[in-house]
Structure 1
Amino acid sequence: MSSKIYFNTKGGVNVRRRAINVATRAYHRIAPSHARKTARNLLLTPERFSAKAQAPEGLQKKAIETSEGKIMTYSLGSGPTWLLGHGWSGSASQFYTLMERIAASGFTALAFDNPAHGASDGQHGHLPGFVKGLEAVLEQEVDELAGVVAHSMGCTMVLESKHAKLAGVPMLLVAPILNYKDNLYRVVEGSGFSLRLFQDVIREVEHQYQYPIDSVDSHQRLAGHQGHIVIVHDNSDRFALFEQSRKANALPRVSLIETSGLGHNRILKSEPLLRAFDDLSKNQTTETH
């Protein structure tokens, strides 16, 4: 989905939103097939993230072939792997700071660009494609998985995957979207876009991947995970609802680190996140020896 829609969190009713609603509803009624095609391109085409940070020295890039096309991977360091998954309209480059910390701690940091993101193939992005890409990286590039770091929609991707290598591993979830369906409908509705047209696009993806959106339940996945999960979330996040993370904090193996003033993206380079990784990785090392 276009970032202008996906990250639009402004409330209230305005003329522009009403105009979009009227136009998209009429388009859907007059030319439904063409409207669905146009809507798929608009709603499922992410903005390609432009990296501003310099790549760490020693970063290795590798493209792998998957059912979703070419996926670009980025690795740094040596040792057991911490896998990093970004969110919508993001890229692996958002993790460069954390990857350096991971590598300096004696691990391999392995990030990848999701389908239709960064340097990976694809035009359309969506949760089923994210999960397919993640599982291809796990299959082809990971021998010993030490843990997972994920951001935003990447957290939903990780929690949705049932891949055996993820079972019981520690997870560091940053600004997670734990109410995926509700959040998706909230931002689309807030943009004014026709919900019926949006639902048609969703149904096409559901049919293509045999992946019903109603099956996505991140809180249930959190409750069922057997490893330690640390959530780092800013209380001023305007996109991923902080209250969902507070709710998850009540689960037995989940702990929440609350930050202030970092928002949805700046938190990825923050000291609280780096310290959270240090603590989680050290605890994991202690538990396994």
Structure 2
Amino acid sequence: MLASPVHAAPLQAHDDGHLAAARHAFSAPERVPLSAEERATLAGHAEAPLRHEGHKLTRWTLGSGPRVVLVHGWNSRGAHLLAFARPLVEAGFSVTLFDLPAHGDSTGHAASVVHAGRALRAVVADIGAEVHGVIGHSMGSAAALLAFAHGWQVRRSVHLAGPSSLTPMVKGLAAAHGLGPADAAAFAGWVERFIGTRITYVDLERLQHGLRHPGLIIHDPADRTVPFAASEALHAAWAGSRFEPVHDLGHRRLLADADVIARSIAFIAEGRAS
């Protein structure tokens, strides 16, 4: 079980610069504003903000029919998945997208994949009806894995270039910021205080029991943000998954790729027909 998070002590001025930078990279996302086109598309579809853990989550719902929830990644926002929303609505689904804590128009200043997983569960609980499927990109995919491990069930899910375990993410951040063994250990300890649980409890080995439905995994081997190996491991641990590598799309371009979008919508729709 994942415990509720505790707030880690704020960074002190005397903290080592590299260690402080690693902490900031792990916990402080950048806010991305809505584009004029995104604002126009979402106009008239906003729901009342959802109060969650002292913050407000901004959300929108489009269309009618079986519900599909879209979950964005780090340094992103719900509107970045609008390319999936339009064809889903045309296929007869309703679509809910929202801004994760400290992202987009939602409030908050700090977040993590664990915060994202809890926010997703809160949004789903507030919907109050069965959710047919979920499409998650990057951290949004990992947030869905956490929600599944807590008992959330859907008919289908799509995972786009998502990490599947927290341990390699934490180690990768430590290495990227040049942390030596002592500072890397201090960083890992800080992460556990920040998320309120052991890092290993957010690894695939602890989460895979929630993978009980068919899933589609899409990832580019050349992704420089989330290693392709994360999706390979997820597929190996998930008997009901389908793994479809793509090429020349990197980490974010797949969100606008017509073929990726079509495959994702077709997979979600298969679940409605079965």
TM-score, normalised to structure 1, is: 0.79
Partner of 1:48: 31
Deviation per CA, 1:118-144: give whole Å up to 9, x if none.
001111111221122111111112422
**Larger of the two Rg values belongs to structure:** 1
Q: Does 1:101 align with 2:87?
A: yes
Shift of 1:101: 1.2
Partner of 2:226: 240
Deviation per CA, 1:183-221: give whole Å up to 9, x if none.
232133123256655654553453465321111123653
Shift of 1:254: 0.8
Count residues with an aligned counterpart. 259
Q: Distance in 2 between matches of 1:187 and 1:36?
A: 10
**SS state at 2:245 partner:** strand
Q: Distance in 1 between matches of 2:183 and 2:128?
A: 39
For structure 1, list consecutive stretches of 5 or more residues without a partner in the other structure.
1-26
Shift of 1:180: 2.6
Is the 8 Å Cα contact of residues 170 and 227 (structure 1) preserved in structure 2? yes
Match of 1:203 among 166, 189, 192: 189
Match of 1:262 among 240, 249, 274: 249
Where in structure 2 are the equivalents of 1:123-272 lying within 5 Å?
A: 123-161=109-147, 162-164=149-151, 166-193=152-179, 196-197=182-183, 199-200=185-186, 202-204=188-190, 206-207=192-193, 210-218=196-204, 221-222=207-208, 224-250=210-236, 251-272=238-259
**SS state at 2:216 partner:** strand
Q: Distance in 1 between matches of 2:234 and 2:24?
A: 34
Is the 8 Å Cα contact of residues 113 and 143 (structure 2) preserved in structure 1? yes
Q: Distance in 1 between matches of 2:82 and 2:265?
A: 16
Is the 8 Å Cα contact of residues 64 and 93 (structure 2) preserved in structure 1? yes
Deviation per CA, 1:158-201: give whole Å up to 9, x if none.
1012444x225311000011233212321331232566556545
TM-score, normalised to structure 2, is: 0.83
Q: Distance in 2 between matches of 1:36 and 1:69?
A: 27
Is the 8 Å Cα contact of residues 200 and 206 (structure 2) preserved in structure 1? no
Decide which moves more: 232-241 or 277-286. Answer: 277-286
Shift of 1:35: 9.8
Q: Distance in 2 between matches of 1:66 and 1:201?
A: 27
Is the 8 Å Cα contact of residues 164 and 233 (structure 2) preserved in structure 1? no
Q: Distance in 2 between matches of 1:89 and 1:68?
A: 21
Structure 1 stretches of 4+ with a deviation exceeding 6 A read 33-39
Q: Distance in 1 between matches of 2:191 and 2:173?
A: 18
Q: Distance in 1 between matches of 2:268 and 2:115?
A: 29
Where in structure 2 are the equivalents of 1:19-34 lying within 5 Å?
A: 31=14
Match of 1:65 among 28, 51, 54: 51
Shift of 1:260: 0.6
Partner of 1:284: 271
- Aligned residues with identical type, % of pairs: 23
Compared CA separation, residues 53 and 272, structure 1 to 2 (3 A): farther
Is the 8 Å Cα contact of residues 160 and 218 (structure 1) preserved in structure 2? no
